[in-house]
Amino acid sequence: MSYKYVFIPANDSMPIDERVAKKCGLEDDNLSRKAKHYFYESSDKASRANALESATDEQKKVLAQQLRDTGQRGLGDMDDGSLIALLKATHTSNTCEITACTVPCPSNNQRAVSFYSADDAEIRNLPYNRRATEILVGCGHNVNKPTNTKSISIGAAPSGGIRGDCFVGRCHDDEKEDIWERVDFILEDADSRAEWCQTAKERGGGGGGGHGHAESLSGFVNQNTFNSLTEGQADGYTWSQNSQEVELRFLVADGTRGRSVKVNFSTRKFNVAVEGETLLEGELGGSIDTDGCTFTIEDATGGSGKELVVTLCKKHGATWPFVIR
């Protein structure tokens, strides 16, 4: 019950390394865990965390006020403790950047390939990873190449490319069959001319198809607004979260009754529909306790109409890096 993945150093003189790990479920994916630990240890996040832990009350007060002075929405109403907690979550947490090279689809037998790299690579000006970026290009993603080789030597990665060392892994991800499992990504796969790359770049092949950059799945440290962790607005709904729960609000018709609402909860997936029409479905940003999840229909806040309010009870008290994707 093991699988293979690869490690691609940014330094071209170092070989690509094939590694083996024990298979685990999505909730305890060891590749993600290994990557987060690697990038945490190789950055200054530990020293930043120690500095925050050892900061005096007065120093924390100054830091909190500096965050408020940025003028970002929602920060002015937060107390010092909450602001310091957000600072820890965004600048000292054990996270990494996950980039979708391919998404699961019938053409690739529901296989997804993802890159795991440092989420503070741009801040630290980590060097351009040529070999990893060439795989992205081989899968049909647009990458703006540097105008000259000198820009590469000083660590400038092309827009949409990979900076620094990275891990690459593959999984079998089939929502209909409720399957998520790590499968092999071997040395021969780490080549932009590999057959899977050729499939990916075709229309409907799960890669870029020549359109756009590879999508960032984490979107965590790169979001420079602290309030994006606690509240937000998306297409057709608003959301907010604290350490214990997530609340989603959908505008619905005045006559909507509870019997016309169908909400499906699972530990990692979510679906809500009204009168048979799906309002939202996708993967949650963390595990939930399905027994504690509820929904109600209320008068819309600040206006006419009704709102469907769905409350997700978190299984582990923590701020999710995203609510649903």
Integer-rounded Cα radius of gyration of the chain: 22
pLDDT of residue 266: 79
Fold of 230-313: Immunoglobulin-like (2.60.40)
Q: Decide if pLDDT at 318 tops 70.
A: no
Q: Decide if pLDDT at 10 tops 50.
A: yes
- pLDDT tens profile 17-31: 999 999 988 878 899
Give mean pLDDT, residues 32-47. Answer: 84
Of 85-89, 142-146, 271-275, 303-307, the range with the highest mean pLDDT is 271-275
Q: Decide if pLDDT at 65 tops 90.
A: no
pLDDT of residue 122: 75
Q: Decide if pLDDT at 302 tops 70.
A: no
Q: How far apart are CA 98 and CA 167, in angstroms?
A: 10
- Between 285 and 321, name the one with better pLDDT: 285
Give mean pLDDT, residues 43-48. Answer: 75
- Between 55 and 86, name the one with better pLDDT: 55
- pLDDT tens profile 190-240: 999 999 999 998 888 888 764 444 554 443 223 333 344 577 777 788 888
Give mean pLDDT, residues 4-16. Answer: 96
| φ/ψ (deg, to 5) at 297 | -115, 125
| φ/ψ (deg, to 5) at 114 | -130, 150
What is the chain's mean pLDDT, rounded? 80
Q: Decide if pLDDT at 102 tops 50.
A: yes
In this predicted structure, which of 71-75, 81-85, 94-98 has the lowest mean pLDDT? 71-75
**21, 29 contact by CB (below 8 A):** no
Q: Decide if pLDDT at 79 tops 90.
A: no
What is the separation of C-alpha 322 from the centre of its chain, rounded to a whole number of angstroms?
Answer: 7
Give mean pLDDT, residues 145-164. Answer: 49
| φ/ψ (deg, to 5) at 169 | -135, 160
- pLDDT above 90 covers a percentage of the chain that reads 28
- pLDDT tens profile 264-293: 887 777 889 998 899 998 888 778 888 888
Q: How far apart are CA 164 and CA 46, in angstroms?
A: 19
The CATH 2.60.40.790 domain(s) of the chain lie at: 230-313
- pLDDT above 70 covers a percentage of the chain that reads 82
Q: How confident is the model at residue 121 (pLDDT cuts 50, 70, 90)?
A: confident
Q: Decide if pLDDT at 145 tops 70.
A: no
In this predicted structure, which of 116-120, 132-136, 182-186, 206-210 has the lowest mean pLDDT? 206-210
Q: Decide if pLDDT at 153 tops 50.
A: no
CA dihedral over 224, 226, 227, 231, signed as positive or negative: positive
Tokens representing 202 are: 């075709």
**Residue matched to tokens 């050729």:** 198
Helix orientation angle between 45-54 and 30-41, rounded to the nearest 10 degrees: 70
